Structure 1
């Protein structure tokens, strides 16, 4: 069973090895489904630009990772890890 990738999911690019959050999908562009993700990497103090790649090039890592990131910001640091 293949996992459907949705907005907010965390994915890993098989070629560049970058982790990122899915910010867009298209069902068919240039003959195949594509995913746009925002890498979590920084360069010169700025986030890298969003990257659009074929769906087959990304690996699903975690569902709804964007929601989890926002929830961590709202909750503050975990006192067990400080």
Structure 2
């Protein structure tokens, strides 16, 4: 991204397609497809940005269906460190 350009030159022109928190995966995917967009901003219902769903999220879910995620859909990661021989 050319950071010398004003935001207004690179941002999506109105109308901006968004969804509210709690949108289902099916509804989000439907919005992405219907509007032919790759990113769907999520807001709290009061215009505050709280998240972003992307086409890539769906691709990764399809590629890695057994990935362990928390109740919010975030990837859980674990690690073990040995301290002995």
Q: Which has the larger radius of gyration?
A: 2
Q: Under a length normalisation based on structure 1, what TM-score does the superposition of the two structures give?
A: 0.27
Which has more helix, going by share of residues? 2
Which has more strand, going by share of residues? 1
Q: Under a length normalisation based on structure 2, what TM-score does the superposition of the two structures give?
A: 0.27
Higher-RCO chain (CA-CA 8 Å, sequence separation at least 6): 1
